[in-house]
Amino acid sequence: MRLAQVSDFHFTKLTMNPFRLLSKRSLGHLNWIFRRKDLFSSKPSESLPFLFQALNVDVILLGGDFTSTSMKEEFILAKNFVLSLTRPWIAIPGNHDVYTKRSFIKQTYYQHFQNRTPALYSLAKEGMEAHKIDPLWWVIALDTSRPTNLRSSQGFFSEKLEERLDGLLSVIPDKEKIILFNHYPFFPQEEEKHSLLRGEALEKLIRRHPKIALYLHGHTHRHVVADLQGDELPIILDSGSCGETKRSTCNIIDLNPSGCKVTTFQYYEGMNEEMGLWKEQEKEEFVWKRR
């Protein structure tokens, strides 16, 4: 089975309507204008469907932050991208997809994105979905994104979600393997305001369940491939951001009974739209060690 992991698109649409800026969104707009405008582009995302089709990907895992400030127009741009995908996909929201309290309460993200593959539980209602993508493989998707104050982008792994996830992991047969899919890394970040609250609880839960073979996340905009099986943790994959013009990255993951192969692709901007393309950068192979 071949999976694609891609995250942090940050489709952006600015507004001049002052009533729509009476929230954290005003800070997001300023951040875009003065810091991100020249760093981000939709061009890498526009060419991803062709890459995934050419590589014959089976399932695409979309790791959140589809938008920049949860604007309706941004969700429409993101949805148009997702509709262009010709392969099955599973999506989770990021912190930018619940950028304001209003967008969180109204569940604006879920008005535009509902995973179509059959699942146990519901991301929108229970913060978790379990998708069986193969007789031996599950993708368990988590929603830990919450609206925060002006200077924070923290997520939250609640006690209720911990209990629910632990119960599900306990009943999945040991011979089957799990990909845990979350927007946030569970390790503390350099700045606490970017971390997952109760991430240590999620780490302890992961250690208790060796059937979790892979932990996939985004959020940091830093591409990472780390084999932590020797420390009783899974292989950690951060796909980086696919919205950054000069360093857009994504992962292609080939699963097999004995291990996996992770291939990193990076986008290179050409002189014009037609010349931009994704190129294979590096390839790493791993053997399953957790039992």
Within the chain, strands assigned E span 2-6, 59-62, 89-91, 128-134, 137-142, 155-156, 177-181, 196-197, 212-217, 223-227, 235-239, 249-256, 259-268, 277-287
What token pair was written down for 105? Answer: 């309460």
Alpha-carbon gap, residue 262 to 215, rounded angstroms: 13
pLDDT, residue 247, reads: 87
pLDDT, residue 19, reads: 46
| pLDDT tens digits, 190-245 | 888 889 999 999 999 999 999 999 999 999 999 999 999 999 999 999 999 998 88
pLDDT, residue 267, reads: 92
Give the Cα-Cα-Cα angle 40, 42, 47 (nearest 5 degrees).
130
| pLDDT tens digits, 164-187 | 999 999 999 999 999 999 999 999
**Average pLDDT of the segment spanning 48-64:** 96
Q: Which long-range contacts (CB under 8 A, 24 or more apart) does 148-151 make?
A: 148/24, 148/95, 149/24, 150/24, 150/27, 151/193
- Whole-number mean pLDDT of the chain? 89
| 85 contacts 52 by C-beta, under 8 angstroms | yes
Alpha-carbon gap, residue 78 to 84, rounded angstroms: 10
- Tell me whether residue 160 is exposed, middle or buried, using C-beta atoms within 10 angstroms of its C-beta: 0 to 12, 13 to 18, 19 or more: exposed
Confidence band for 271, pLDDT divided at 50, 70 and 90: very low
pLDDT, residue 16, reads: 54
Confidence band for 25, pLDDT divided at 50, 70 and 90: low
pLDDT, residue 149, reads: 79
| pLDDT tens digits, 136-162 | 999 999 999 998 876 788 999 999 999
- Tell me whether residue 262 is exposed, middle or buried, using C-beta atoms within 10 angstroms of its C-beta: 0 to 12, 13 to 18, 19 or more: buried
What is the reported pTM?
0.92
Alpha carbon distances (Å) from 162 to 127, 132, 157, 174, 253? 10, 20, 7, 19, 27
Range of the domain at 247: 2-287
For residue 218, give the CATH number of its domain: 3.60.21.10
When divided into structural domains, the chain yields a total of 1
Name the residue type at position 6: V
Percent of the chain with pLDDT over 90: 71
